[in-house]
Structure 1
Amino acid sequence: MKKLLIIALWSHLFYPIYGQTNDSFSIQLSEDLEQIYTQEHITGFSVGIVNQDGTLFQKGYGYADKKTNKKYTEHTVQNIASISKTFIGVALLKAQELGELKLDDPINQYLSFEVINPHFPEIQITIRQLATHTSSIKDPPRYEKSGYVLKDDFGQGKANRNFQAAYKMMPQSQFLEKILAKNGAWYKKKNFLKAQPGQTFEYSNIAAGLAALVLENATGQSFKDFTEQYIFNPLKMANSGWAFEDIDFSKHSKLYADKDTELALYQLVNYPDGGLITSSADLGKYLSELISGFKGKGKILTEESFKELFKPQLTSKNNNERNESTYNDEYNMGIFMGMSAKGQMGHTGGDPGVVTHMFFNTETGVGKILIVNTDIEKEGIKEFIDIWNKLIAFEDKLNAKSF
């Protein structure tokens, strides 16, 4: 989805503290976040801090529905944008464990329509290239224009200019075929880089969705069902799903174009690239598992698969300009797993009414989550950074306590 990278130049080193934290640090953090919320540029948000053993802190602030004064809590759900892509990476590695595919297989082995870079027709695109954003597939304007569809045509809220009427919803496979197949209605040569597959990093939502479609065809199981069976259920993520009907809709937050303007609810045609609906509480369980997996103690993948998930796949040859800020998730890539130059693993996300961050520190094993239900610009960006800064301050206090 559209990416919003809020660059922060922070770097910390400390030893991890394990177990639940219910002391003055948590009280102070909660008070600090309440104070930041009074800036009133964000309608509602939730945060989480975890390690491999579980939750250290989680809480929501502001409103999930401002009109009805419904509070935003750590159990409020909403879509989390591109953090969703990390679930594609985990799912691909699980499918590889099951013998259903291999990361270096050509994608056309699993598709009902052929996807070839017209500038290099003799070179096959592989699953690994999709998962590392080196497939040479670009996001065309049609992705934004036709990829967001209203939940219904009679709902409340402002419609973004790219929101399509509900009746224009189509199967994800059809959407991708229209864009990527040579005979597709929206196909253009410029939907591909003039660089051969595997050569150049180009962040691609279309490629991410295609990876999920490859998984479906390889396993004979829908992406929704596969992730529920192998990720959500084992981690007890009971409040997570890929569609409105998959979650308890009473817990869903409204989304906002600004602090007062409610957006109409929408769906994503290419849903695996950014459409996961979840809460900070559920996402914290997932992040805790990622940290455990990084340390060789995960339960949803083998140790070998976790090593592959977190293995840096790119070099300077793939990307000439590499941003080295602490929370830039495009310095390098694992298997749909972003990594910064400063030892942070995770992903950022942004969609209409959504801004998200999820990272863990590879040296300390502490992870942080921030989910926002509001488009943010100017002052809102400052508020977002202030919130994130407080989460880091919490880490610093844990560090001081450990000595």
Structure 2
Amino acid sequence: MRTPFLLLTGLFACFSVYGQTTSSLPEKIRQVETHLLPILIVEGDTASQFSLEARMKHYKVPGVSLAVIRNGKIEWAKGYGFADQEANRRVDTTTLFQASSISKPIAALAALHWVEAGKFALDSNINNYLKDWQVPDSPLTATEKVTLRRLMTNTAGLTVHGFAGYPKGKSVPTLIQILNGETPANSRAIQLDTIPGKVNRNPGGGYVVLQKAMIDQVGKPFPEIMQETVLAKLGMTRSTYEQPLPAKLDSMAATAYTSYGTPVNGSWYTYPEMAAAGLWSTPSDLARYVINVQQSLQGKSNKVISKPMAKQMLTKHLGSMGLGPALRNTGDSLIFSQSGGNQGFRCLFMAHATKGDGVVIMTNADSGLELAQELLNSVSAAYKWDFSTPKRMKKANLSTAQVEQVLGNYRRDRYIFEVTQTDGKLYAKPRWEEESREMIPEDKAQFIMRDGQRAEFIYDSNSKVTAVKLFGNVIFTKMSK
């Protein structure tokens, strides 16, 4: 069950090489570890390359684990730093991390399996598959319905972007309580607020509905469905959707840390929204998912879905979403990916659909996504892959009045997005996270944060800012002072 590993001293806790090695592999690994590149390079910045160890200290990320896929196999996997600093427990390739939103495309893979098994139709009303809870009918559903396809492509029109999790010792709601926004749920009710199929956005609420539909149709607890449908079939022996994490696995799990380097209350949070955020896994196990998708598309594997279904899965819908993963490029250059963040965990994967290459990166800190993106730049450069390169831009000079327009607080549900100014620079501080990020203006409406996220400020007819658009299409309304 455990992946073989070689225990190292210092920063490195584990290093595994899979398959046949080449003489260039040690050099590639050295390049990955020593040539991290920034996410954003603004004209006038000094271009720098960093070591992984230095950037872990800079971002206060205790632990990192990654796996690199080449030619359809895991070429190498390695752990760095600490799973738990206080216990002096280091990361190795078997350390469990919360996979956050990477839970979604793997849950979608299971749903597609059950489509082929006849439990669902992709384009039928999802209410046909829900028993003791239904998406309420309204004028919004008069001509268009919430469907499984729309749930997986983020176009169902449902609310609730993400979930805050539940610290140890706090009551955990049932799935029905989450759907209805009832105590002790800490999120609002999952409701329809736009016509299905018209808008692409990333509501985790859609995957809670998917989770409920799978439970109702398959007739088993969700972790059991996922274990039998995907995890066991793909050899993902270090993965589970069980929430809370079973006590027997506590010693194998990474502790979650804030962006200030302090452990979160109770080591990690519980996420009963399992399909949206509940997977615990390792980069090597997630790499097995990636490889299976690649092989299914090539017709080399039907362990979970067939080649025709894999083609549907990796076909672009509104917003360049596939049935689960995000998509980029076309043809032989097609890339599928997903990133995510739970309290104290950040992770991502990116892979070529047809070339058999990919990378999975997992961290145990709120500031880990910035590090993971820099590491992705480094892997891309070392392997000469087109996954990621630093974005270069020229900073616009805004007037005092234009700056004052964007300053303030913006709200969506319980989430608040704050824009402040310090020493002549603008900073974004999402209050559901702890770190502030510098915002660089391209013009008065378009901004890029240092972590690569975009923010688009929306003006009314009087040239007053009324809202900001984040995460693609999620609107936060400006609050009155």
TM-score category of the 2 structures, normalised to the smaller one: 0.7 to 0.9
| Residue aligning to 2:126 | 107
Q: Spell out, residue by residue over 1:136-192, the C-alpha distance to the aligned partner (whole angstroms, 9 max, x if none).
A: 11217xx64xx5111x23xxxxxxxxxxxx2x212223311347xxxxx9558xx43
Q: Spell out, residue by residue over 1:330-350, the C-alpha distance to the aligned partner (whole angstroms, 9 max, x if none).
A: x41111121124632021111
Alignment partners' CA distance in 2, 1:186 and 1:73:
38
- The correspondence for 1:384, drawn from 363, 366, 372, is 372
Q: Which AA in structure 2 matches 1:313?
A: H
Change (3 A) 1:93 1:201: same
Alignment partners' CA distance in 1, 2:149 and 2:107:
12
- What is the correspondence of 1:176-191 to structure 2 with a 5 Å cutoff? 176-178=179-181, 187=189, 191=191
| Residue aligning to 2:464 | none
Work out whether 1:149 is the aligned partner of 2:166.
Answer: yes
Q: State the secondary structure of the residue aligned to 2:270.
A: strand
Q: State the secondary structure of the residue aligned to 1:149.
A: coil
Q: State the secondary structure of the residue aligned to 2:33.
A: helix
Alignment partners' CA distance in 2, 1:203 and 1:88:
15
Q: Which AA in structure 2 matches 1:63?
A: F
- The correspondence for 2:343, drawn from 352, 357, 361, is 352
Q: Which AA in structure 1 matches 2:157?
A: S
Change (3 A) 1:122 1:47: same
Answer 1 or 2: which has greater helix percent: 1
Q: State the secondary structure of the residue aligned to 1:47.
A: strand
Q: Spell out, residue by residue over 1:209-256, the C-alpha distance to the aligned partner (whole angstroms, 9 max, x if none).
A: 111211111121222111111211111111110121187322100111
| Residue aligning to 1:371 | 362
Alignment partners' CA distance in 2, 1:230 and 1:293:
15
Change (3 A) 1:97 1:333: same
Does the aligned pair in 2 maintain the 1:349–1:357 contact within 8 Å?
A: yes
Does the aligned pair in 1 maintain the 2:68–2:359 contact within 8 Å?
A: yes
| Residue aligning to 2:322 | 334
- What is the correspondence of 1:159-238 to structure 2 with a 5 Å cutoff? 166=170, 168-178=171-181, 187=189, 191-193=191-193, 195-238=194-237
Aligned CA RMSD, in angstroms, stands at 2.6
TM-score (norm 2): 0.65
Give the drift of 1:114. 2.2
Does the aligned pair in 1 maintain the 2:337–2:350 contact within 8 Å?
A: yes
Alignment partners' CA distance in 1, 2:209 and 2:70:
32
Q: Which AA in structure 1 matches 2:97?
A: Q
Alignment partners' CA distance in 1, 2:316 and 2:151:
15
- What is the correspondence of 1:65-84 to structure 2 with a 5 Å cutoff? 65-84=84-103
Change (3 A) 1:375 1:126: same
Answer 1 or 2: which has greater strand percent: 2
Give the drift of 1:72. 1.0
Q: Which AA in structure 2 matches 1:148?
A: G
Give the drift of 1:98. 1.4
> Relative contact order (alpha carbons < 8 A, sep ≥ 6): 1 or 2 greater?
1
Does the aligned pair in 2 maintain the 1:51–1:291 contact within 8 Å?
A: no
| Residue aligning to 2:52 | 36
Does the aligned pair in 2 maintain the 1:52–1:291 contact within 8 Å?
A: no
Segments of 4+ moved more than 6 angstroms? none
Q: For structure 2, which runs of at least 5 residues remain unmatched after alignment?
A: 1-17, 35-50, 386-481
Does the aligned pair in 1 maintain the 2:255–2:263 contact within 8 Å?
A: yes
Q: State the secondary structure of the residue aligned to 1:148.
A: coil
- The correspondence for 2:279, drawn from 276, 279, 284, is 276
- The correspondence for 1:291, drawn from 286, 291, 294, is 294
Q: Which AA in structure 2 matches 1:221?
A: K
Does the aligned pair in 1 maintain the 2:313–2:322 contact within 8 Å?
A: yes
Work out whether 1:362 is the aligned partner of 2:353.
Answer: yes
| Residue aligning to 1:159 | none
Alignment partners' CA distance in 1, 2:20 and 2:69:
9
Give the drift of 1:28. 4.3
Alignment partners' CA distance in 2, 1:347 and 1:32:
21
Does the aligned pair in 1 maintain the 2:269–2:343 contact within 8 Å?
A: no
Alignment partners' CA distance in 1, 2:110 and 2:383:
30
The structure with more radius of gyration: 2
- What is the correspondence of 1:52-91 to structure 2 with a 5 Å cutoff? 53-91=72-110
- The correspondence for 1:139, drawn from 149, 156, 160, is 160
- What is the correspondence of 1:288-327 to structure 2 with a 5 Å cutoff? 288-298=291-301, 299-314=303-318
Alignment partners' CA distance in 2, 1:246 and 1:300:
29
Give the drift of 1:300. 2.1
Percent identity over the alignment? Answer: 21
Q: Spell out, residue by residue over 1:315-356, the C-alpha distance to the aligned partner (whole angstroms, 9 max, x if none).
A: xxxxxxxxxxxxxxxx41111121124632021111221111
Alignment partners' CA distance in 2, 1:395 and 1:117:
51
Q: State the secondary structure of the residue aligned to 1:263.
A: coil
Q: Which AA in structure 2 matches 1:21?
A: T
Q: For structure 1, which runs of at least 5 residues remain unmatched after alignment?
A: 1-17, 154-165, 180-184, 315-330, 398-403
Does the aligned pair in 1 maintain the 2:106–2:289 contact within 8 Å?
A: no
Work out whether 1:257 is the aligned partner of 2:261.
Answer: no
Alignment partners' CA distance in 2, 1:345 and 1:110:
28
Change (3 A) 1:94 1:261: same
| Residue aligning to 1:12 | none
Alignment partners' CA distance in 1, 2:294 and 2:70:
7
| Residue aligning to 2:151 | 130
